[in-house]
């Protein structure tokens, strides 16, 4: 078993706001290895994006405050890292792509300029990115960076890539822009890619293309990926593993087939049941009663307990520990054994 690329252990994060202190991440545990694509799912506000941003060190504090846990990247604790070190990691070791391709490219620079700058920044931390030796001249670096930018655009499937380096973002379609952003994230050959809802803003056919491209890139660069999404369909289609989050906790995680076919946490089951199928009559969608708890004053114990049909006094008293119900399949619920008996319907 290889060492995990990324290991998030018991990560706690609070956000200070006008209304008080919200305990947003409540002990996140996650392990990502190379070649694994982890889907991070959960409803809005459950801390998916914050988890991703935390790995990149992009959560500004204040207002955020980390109080406990660690994020180990290749054995190095990122939370204790100096900004200078994070700068070297971003782009070179950890890449990120975001939700809305229309707002994530700078509108007043050509994509060539933007890609070249990223390539140069990556080359400054790791000269191998540009294929040059340490002492290469500035001009040689620029030329290599531009060549690399063209190659990357080509690789992410932009037709006529080299000529399009001189175009501005508004001259590309949404899907094409997301490809550009993927090229930008991958230009420094990161080991870990965090994709924060990369397909949410795209229409379905483009969505499939982008997911294909992502999978292809993972094979080629041997990356680990965290794919943050709302969409269980995307997870089923793309991911090797999935972690289900609820109100700042990972409630269930494991290999994607296992979790989606035999969900063991009541919340995961509720999520699965909410997906409409062909048999569901019009207007008869299954929902989940109640709403996400207010994190300014979260429930003690299991945060899902107030909405859970199985909730018992034990659920309200303490946060349930992770139980391994199958190899790598972990569930944070005290009713795991009871759930096992009521097979998933």
Partner 1 sequence: MLRFIIRRIIMLIPVLFGLTVMMFIIARLLPGDPVALAAGPNATHEEIAALAAEFGMDQPMIVQYWTYASGLLQGDFGVSIFTRRPVLTDILTYLPATLELVFAAMALSIALGIPLGLMTAVYRNRWPDYLARVLALASISMPRFFLGLLLQLCFAMWLMTFPLGGRFPIIYEYPPFVTGFLTLDALIAGDLESFWLACRHLALPAIAMSLSPLATIMRMMRASTIEVLQHDYVTTARAVGLSQRRIVFKYVAKNAVSATLTVIGLYFGWLLGGTVLVETVFDWPGLGLYATQAIVAQDFMPVIGVALVIGLLFVLSNLVIDVLYGVINPKVRYA
Q: Which residues bind partner 1 (CB under 8 A)?
A: 56, 58, 87-92, 95-96, 98, 100, 103-109, 117-118, 121-122, 125, 168, 170, 181, 184-185, 187-188
Nearer to partner 1, 46 or 152 (CB): 152
Q: What is the largest CA-CA distance in the chain?
A: 68
DSSP element (H, E) containing 236: helix 232-238
Break the chain down into helix, strand, coil percent, rounded to 5.
35, 20, 40
CB of 224 to partner 1, least distance (A): 16
Q: Which is nearer to partner 1, 109 or 344 (CB)?
A: 109
Residue 68 or 127: which CB sits closer to partner 1? 127
| Nearer to partner 1 (CB atom), residue 125 or residue 262 | 125
Smallest distance from partner 1 to CB 284, Å = 38
d(CA 175, CA 102): 9
Angle formed by the axes of helices 174-186 and 204-221, nearest 10°: 20
Query: Minimum Å distance from CB 95 to partner 1?
Result: 7
Closest CA to 196 of 56, 83, 29: 56
Nearer to partner 1, 223 or 339 (CB): 223
Q: Indicate the residue among 24 and 315 with the shorter CB distance to partner 1.
A: 24
Q: How far apart are CB 263 and partner 1 at their closest, in Å? A: 32
Give the rounded distance of the alpha carbon of 228 from its chain centre: 4
β-pair type (224-229, 37-41): parallel
- Kindly tell me which of 223 and 247 has the beta carbon lying closer to partner 1: 223
Shortest distance (Å) from residue 56 CB to partner 1: 5
Write down the least CB distance from residue 108 to partner 1, Å: 5
Whether the CB-CB separation of 251 and 333 falls below 8 Å is answered with yes
Q: What is the side-by-side strand order in the sheet with 249-255?
A: 94-97, 192-196, 224-229, 37-41, 241-246, 249-255, 329-331, 323-326
Pair 249, 53: CB distance under 8 Å: no
Describe the crossing of helices 111-125 and 174-186 by its angle, rounded to 10 degrees: 20
Distance of closest approach, residue 314 Cβ to partner 1, in angstroms: 41
Q: From the CB of 189, what's the least distance to partner 1, in Å?
A: 11
Q: Which two tokens stand for residue 65?
A: 């405050």
**Complex with partner 1: residue 116 or 218, whichever CB lies closer:** 116
Residue 48: closest CA among 315, 182, 227, 233: 227
């Amino acid at each position: 078993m290889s060492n995990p690329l990324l290991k998030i252990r018991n990560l706690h994060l609070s956000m200070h706001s006008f209304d008080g202190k919200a305990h947003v991440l409540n002990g996140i545990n996650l392990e990502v290895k190379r070649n694994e694509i982890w889907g991070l799912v959960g409803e809005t506000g459950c801390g998916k994006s914050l988890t991703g941003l935390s790995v990149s060190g992009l959560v500004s504090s204040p207002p955020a405050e980390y109080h406990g846990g660690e994020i180990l990247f290749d054995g190095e604790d990122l939370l204790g890292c100096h900004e200078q070190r994070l700068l070297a990691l971003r782009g070179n070791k950890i890449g990120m792509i975001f939700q809305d391709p229309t707002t994530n490219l700078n509108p007043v620079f050509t994509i060539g300029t933007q890609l070249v700058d990223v390539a140069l920044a990556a080359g400054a931390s790791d000269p191998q990115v540009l294929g040059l030796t340490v002492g290469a001249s500035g001009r040689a670096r620029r030329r290599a960076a531009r060549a690399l930018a063209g190659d990357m655009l080509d690789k992410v499937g932009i037709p006529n890539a080299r000529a399009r380096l001189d175009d501005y973002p508004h001259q590309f379609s949404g899907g094409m822009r997301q490809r550009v952003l993927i090229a930008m994230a991958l230009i420094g050959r990161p080991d870990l890619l965090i994709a924060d809802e990369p397909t949410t803003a795209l229409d379905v056919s483009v969505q499939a293309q982008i997911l294909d491209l992502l999978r292809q890139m993972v094979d080629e660069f041997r990356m680990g990926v965290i794919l943050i999404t709302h969409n269980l369909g995307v997870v089923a289609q793309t991911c090797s593993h999935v972690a289900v989050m609820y109100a700042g906790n990972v409630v269930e995680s494991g290999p994607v087939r296992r979790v989606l076919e035999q969900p063991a946490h009541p919340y995961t089951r509720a999520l699965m049941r909410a997906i409409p199928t062909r048999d569901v009559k019009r207007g008869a969608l299954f929902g989940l009663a109640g709403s996400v708890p207010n994190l300014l004053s979260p429930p003690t114990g299991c945060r899902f307990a107030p909405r859970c049909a199985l909730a018992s006094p034990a659920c309200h008293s303490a946060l349930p520990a992770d139980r391994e119900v199958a190899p790598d399949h972990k569930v944070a619920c005290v009713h795991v054994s009871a759930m096992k008996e009521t097979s998933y319907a």
